[in-house]
Amino acid sequence: MELSPFYQDLFTSLNSGLLMSIALIVPSAMGGVLIGITAGAIRTYGNRFFRTIIDCYAAVFRGTPLVIQLFVLYFGLPNIGIYLTPYLAAVVGFTLCSGAYQSEYVRGALLSIKSGQYLGAQALGFTTFQTIVWIILPQAFRRAIHGCGNEIIYLIKYSSLAFIVTCIELTGAGKTVATEYFRFTEVFGIIGLYYLALVSLAIIILKKIEHRLFIPGFGHH
């Protein structure tokens, strides 16, 4: 059965937008986790100077709307001579925002590890860096994975904000078609299904990672 011109245009645009959404989500999620682990470790074990800097970073990006952050990156930075493409502005914004939230999950997980393990590693001759990287972080990451996974799911959904800085992803592509045909309910209903599929896929992947990292007797299965 041949689709009507409306649905042909819609699915062509949405599939193109989906690829852009994935191109936004994957590096932003990976970068956010990396920043979260680094920032969380510094907020827990760093000296006062670095803790203050990272605490300020986390406070700014957790305390201001993502929309404002994207506007500053794309429309504000050119005022000081820094020009970012729509795609780069969106990825940088998503990564920094996600990293700030991830750092809080990691920090909480690090604080949950008993201090005796840190002291025991020190007594065995481990440096502070070795203790954190090889003993504390692997355990903390297992405890933080629930929160970090939720943040990645949030990232999938708020990636829809990229179109406000003219990066045409899934929502932006759908909005263009909806405006052309004046069929907003159908278009955004189908967009919702696309996001539901993305989130469902992410949940499956995260559960597999969680299962792979599970250690009997450590935490809850």
In this predicted model, what pLDDT tens digit does every residue of 16-71 receive, in sequence order?
A: 999 999 999 999 999 999 999 999 999 998 899 999 999 999 999 999 999 999 99
Tell me what the pLDDT averaged over the chain comes to: 90
Select the more confidently predicted residue: 3 or 166: 166
CA 104 from chain center: how many Å? 13
Cα 105 to Cα 144: distance, rounded to the nearest angstrom: 6
Domains and CATH numbers, the chain: 5-213 (1.10.3720.10)
Residue that has been written with the tokens 């795609």 in this structure: 87
What SS3 class is residue 65? coil
∠ Cα 78 80 82 (to 5°): 50
CB 198 within 8 A of CB 156: yes
Cα 214 to Cα 146: distance, rounded to the nearest angstrom: 12
Q: Identify the H or E element spanning 128.
A: helix 128-131
**What residues pair up with 83 in beta bridges, in sequence order?**
none
Q: Which amino acid is at 26?
A: V
How many angstroms separate the Cα of 140 from the Cα of each of 106, 168, 170? 7, 37, 35
* Cβ density class 56-88: b for 16+ within 10 Å, e for less: ebbeebeeeebeebbeebbeeeeeeeeebebbe
In this predicted model, what pLDDT tens digit does every residue of 98-135 receive, in sequence order?
A: 999 999 999 999 988 887 887 888 888 888 788 888 88
For the entire predicted model, the pTM comes to 0.89
Angle between helices 184-213 and 137-158 (to 10 degrees): 170
Cα 161 to Cα 70: distance, rounded to the nearest angstrom: 9
With pLDDT > 70 as the criterion, what percentage of the chain qualifies?
Answer: 96
pLDDT at 221: 43
CB 99 within 8 A of CB 60: no
